[in-house]
Structure 1
Amino acid sequence: MGSLWQSGSDLLLGVLNFFYGISHSYGVAIILLTILVRVLLYPLSHKQLVSMKKMQQIQPRLKTLQEKYKDDKQKLNQEVMKLYREYGVNPAAGCLPLLVQLPILILLFKVIMNYDFGEEFFLGISLKHSLLSLMSQALGVATAKAGVMTVISGIVSNPAGLLNFGLYGGTLILWLLIGFVTWFQQKITTTGAASEQMAFMGWFMPLFMMFICLSLPGGVLLYWGVSSLIGVVQQVWVQRRTSVEISQKPVLYKDKPRSAEKSKAESEEVSKDV
């Protein structure tokens, strides 16, 4: 397993260096590598999203069945399976693709996390340093490892240091974008009447993600932001398409059936012409 993990890491690292050789920019290389991985994982992620959306669509009918057959578990299971077959839903289809995707995405995360990008900036984003580290530098706080309290104390002692926006501004904007994309993804995932638990996750997950990203290098934030943005676009597209497919009734005839009288009249006209 360790050799397989190392082989995957070496492969991604080779692709990253290949894209750098073409673009001469590590920022562009990270974006291209992220897009490539998302494209390769598209069939799996698409299957996962379609299954998730269909499960959301059948929730009202599923709850009705649970209420109707709450005292008959066997009948409930039979009706639930009929409902799954009617909509072509496989509950396991949403989990299996995710289990395949996660190791690859985690591997890509670790490759970028451990790569030495030097002091390169991309669109104002430092690929090597974290937002906390950059803000500490802007505030003139000398520390080996910056933390939240380091930045807060720096702001209190030297608020004018925040004017050095060029040093941390690009990373700050990307950090805020990741928080917004995470919030938006939670919002479109919990469509309809959300439970209190889902409503809680709707604002907790963005805040939690932003907290984690405070100490991550800018290169990782760039990967995470691009990957999340692609995921949201794909999710919106899949949800709209799946909603249309579910709402449409099956077409039994290519053309509208003709009445018997009309068909007979047309046959008589053809006979006269002949």
Structure 2
Amino acid sequence: MTAFLGNLLGKLLKFVYDIVSNIGTEPEKFSYYAMAIIITTIIFKLILLPISLHQSKSTKKMNDLQPKIKEIQNKYKNDPQTQQAKMMEVYKENKYNPMSGCLILLIQFPIIIAFFKVMGNPVTFAFKDPQVYAAMNKSFLWIANLENPDPYMWGLPLLAAATTYLQSLTMSAAATADPQAQATQRTMNIFLPFMIFFAARGFAAGLALYWVISNTFQVIQQLISNRSLGKIKEETR
């Protein structure tokens, strides 16, 4: 499945590269390859946008239902069957599917893995000809070759960690009000950026560039989504 998706996304990367490489003169420090990665990442995120927005709405609705759910859990803590039945009634009344969040993640996961594979092995999935790929300029600002890790840990690795942290914060704003879930989210807010930082120091800078652009898009999208959902909630009061 991921190989099939990888080939599709690889064709998209090659298509974008062919377009940008025919526009003007290639800047010495900002290669067509870097441009193609950035543009393809944005297109990729736009393709996933409807799924991401649905996930944000699902998370917001679950957050709104949390007080009722906690009340039912406390009231029927010694009667699991009744507790489950009452919770399903609340879900049905509010047209909420508790499995929707998991289904959305299951849809996104293989697509994200496939795109990550494309960025990690562009010859196999996108450019096909190793000689053509080897001859391409792959520079990006201070990075001479996006195939190699960023030589400066304050560069893309730090940006990857920072954007991961910002993304976690914006997602926390729409997260469930459950204390246990909030505690888990706070731990992830700290742990995940560090993990991404050390990982980005070791893998190709092209992957780190993809991660930074993807996170930046996600942060902007989440901020707009949080604001829009907040306005909708205020209007319905």
Quickly name the TM-score band, shorter chain normalised: 0.7 to 0.9
Aligned-partner Cα distance in 1 for 2:221–2:227: 10
**Pair 1:221-2:208 in alignment:** yes
Change (3 A) 1:74 1:34: same
Contact 1:109/1:220 (8 A) holds in 2: yes
Aligned-partner Cα distance in 1 for 2:96–2:15: 41
Q: Report how far residue 28 of structure 1 moved.
A: 0.9
Contact 2:148/2:204 (8 A) holds in 1: yes
Q: 179-188 or 191-200: which moved more? A: 191-200
Which residue of 126, 130, 136 corresponds with 2:149?
A: 130
Q: Report how far residue 9 of structure 1 moved.
A: 2.7
Q: Report how far residue 225 of structure 1 moved.
A: 1.1
Letter in 2 for 1:234: Q
Letter in 1 for 2:48: L
Unaligned runs of 5+ in 2: 22-31, 124-132
Which residue of structure 1 lines up, in the alignment, with residue 99 of structure 2?
92
Aligned-partner Cα distance in 2 for 1:17–1:29: 8
Instruction: State the TM-score, normalizing by the size of structure 2.
Output: 0.78
Give aligned pairs, total: 210
Greater gyration radius:
1
The C-alpha deviation readout for 1:82-120, integer Å capped at 9, x for no partner, is 322343321111111211111111111111111256562
Which residue of structure 1 lines up, in the alignment, with residue 196 of structure 2?
209
Aligned-partner Cα distance in 2 for 1:88–1:244: 20
Percent identity, aligned pairs only, is 34
**Pair 1:237-2:224 in alignment:** yes
Unaligned runs of 5+ in 1: 135-167, 251-274
Aligned-partner Cα distance in 2 for 1:103–1:178: 21
Aligned-partner Cα distance in 1 for 2:103–2:183: 27
Which residue of structure 2 lines up, in the alignment, with residue 200 of structure 1?
187
**Pair 1:19-2:16 in alignment:** yes
Secondary structure of 1:91's partner?
Answer: coil
**Pair 1:111-2:98 in alignment:** no
Contact 1:180/1:206 (8 A) holds in 2: yes
Higher RCO, Cα 8 Å, sep 6+: 2
Q: Report how far residue 185 of structure 1 moved.
A: 2.1
Aligned-partner Cα distance in 2 for 1:246–1:87: 14
Contact 1:49/1:94 (8 A) holds in 2: no
For residues 56-205 of structure 1, the aligned pairs below 5 Å read 56-115=63-122, 118=134, 120-125=138-143, 126-131=145-150, 134=151, 168=152, 172-191=154-173, 195-205=182-192
Aligned-partner Cα distance in 2 for 1:190–1:37: 23
Aligned-partner Cα distance in 1 for 2:157–2:206: 12
